[in-house]
Amino acid sequence: MTDERLIKDLKLIVDESQVLTDESTLAQKSVDLYALRLLQKHMGWKPKKPVCVVKPKTVDEVSKVLKYLNDNNVPTIPYGGGSGVLAGAETRVDGTVVIDVSSLNSIVELNENNMTVTVQGGTFLKDLESWLNERGYITGHYPQSIDLAQVGGLTATRSIGQFSTKYGGIEDLVLGIEGVLPNGEIVKIKSNPRRAIGPDLRNLWIGSEGMIGIITEITMKVFPKPEKRWLQAYTIPTMREGLDIIRKVMHAGYRPAVVRLHDWLESEKPYGAFMNEGESILLFLCEGSKELCDMEETCIDSIAFSSGAKPVGPKPVEIWFKHKNDAADEYENYGKMGALVDTIEISANWTGIVQIYEETCQRIYNEVPEAVYFSGHSSHSYWSGTNIYFQMGAIPKKNIEDAERIYYQMWQIVMDTTLKYGGSIGHHHGIGKHRTKWLPNELGSSYVMMEKIKDAFDPKGIMNPGVIIQTK
């Protein structure tokens, strides 16, 4: 089928104004915030553009468009806010059509008895949060990308927010889902507090990244606005000791909204005035009812103090809170300067997390001479372990190939070390089209189940080719 015929047919399914072919839109919807591209585009890299971008206004239109594309074996990429960082929305196959869901942005219902809200997938999280705040509620979900991300995309990438230690990840918040399969079938998983009726079908959609279809509606929890917040920072001699304090807090059953541990390299600029050189800093933020905050303040402070942490007051937490969403613009500016900057988030049990952090840092500086910066922090913790959010910076030669070589070398070190100590290669950014090469090692013998899920729901393989499952 020619591109011209494809575009003509799509304009018969939806209004012709909903089928976009201008060069600016095609360029914008062909990439996300994949860090390697943020640098390479300043070195001459050009994206592979889709044939067109379709903007359906209703679920029925999504269904009709998807069925047509599936019937005609047209590669299809769902596109939300474009805030992904692992090339999940990047066009890599000729003849691709992008489905932009941003017009499906209605807030359907707030149920105050159930403490749930139902929204369409194209709803921007920042808009939902503001709408709820006006009515005395919060989502509890505050990813760094809150200004850019849509609820459907956050669900599809298994997102997590910066207050997750209290409220949970997106999988803890999402109760019901509506989605459209490649054959155009609309399926709905109703919202209930818990069900024991076989495997949880929500999880086929949560983290699917457009692999099996398009998420069009989500029902999720909401929470009352907190009455009180408690903020406190502590300095600790090393990351090892700081991670042990977090472990003790989690095993004691406390759930601070924020618990973040930053190493010295990451802390020096924002928090150096409160620290001695080489120290790490531990930030706590608790929120909720006054009674709950008062209890957590007393108990967490006791654990930290008895473990040798030095309290330095709330100011470092206030600094973090003020700048917690600043990163997106910074990465774009680094690319303009010729610097390769990225983040790599992993998770592991308490038994392996220290080794992953220490060995990874050592290997990067020993094996990558172009590396100028490599640090880490823990920002999401659980009963059995925590995560490390590595931040890296390198100066490649001014060509696309060298940037790619250094980028993959640093990533390979992080992935190898994480797998060596039994950790997970991805904590909350998803797989995209970048992490796919390491996924078989991550999943081991269960990888075949992921392949079978893909084959079962998308037998023609049109949905976001190359995402999660490597293209054969």
Domain range list for the chain: 3-101, 107-224, 228-323
Q: Tell whether the torsion through CA atoms of 154, 6, 75 and 67 is positive or negative.
A: positive
State residue 472's pLDDT score: 64
On the question of pLDDT at 328 being above 70, the answer is no
CB hemisphere CA count around 17 (13 angstroms): 2
On the question of pLDDT at 213 being above 90, the answer is yes
Q: What is the mean pLDDT of the chain?
A: 96
CB 375 within 8 A of CB 239: no
pLDDT band at 14 (very low <50, low <70, confident <90, very high): very high
Residue 372, helix vs strand vs coil: strand
State residue 337's pLDDT score: 83
The set of long-range contacts for 299-304, using a CB threshold of 8 Å and a minimum separation of 24, is: 299/252, 299/254, 300/232, 300/249, 300/254, 300/256, 301/232, 303/245, 303/248, 303/249, 303/252, 304/234, 304/245, 304/249
Section 345-366 average pLDDT: 98
Strand runs labelled E in 88-144: 97-100, 107-111, 116-120, 137-138
List pLDDT tens digits, range 70-79.
Answer: 999 999 999 9
State residue 189's pLDDT score: 97
Strand 52-54 relative to strand 97-100, pairing: parallel
List pLDDT tens digits, range 381-426.
Answer: 999 999 999 999 999 998 999 999 999 999 999 999 999 999 999 9
268-to-40, 274, 281 alpha-carbon distances in Å: 29, 9, 10
Q: Which fold has domain 3-101?
A: 3.30.43
Q: Which fold has domain 107-224?
A: 3.30.465
User: For the ranges 35-44, 88-97, 344-353, 455-464, which has the lowest average pLDDT?
Assistant: 35-44
List pLDDT tens digits, range 238-262.
Answer: 999 999 999 999 999 999 999 999 9
pLDDT band at 324 (very low <50, low <70, confident <90, very high): confident
* Size of the chain in residues: 472
CB hemisphere CA count around 386 (13 angstroms): 32
On the question of pLDDT at 326 being above 80, the answer is no
Taking Cα atoms as reference points, which of 261, 270, 265 lies closest to residue 235? 261
How far apart CA 425 and CA 344 sit, in angstroms, is 9
Taking Cα atoms as reference points, which of 339, 462, 465 lies closest to residue 40? 339
pTM metric for this prediction: 0.95
Per CATH, domain 228-323 is 3.30.70.3450: yes
List pLDDT tens digits, range 78-87.
Answer: 999 999 999 9
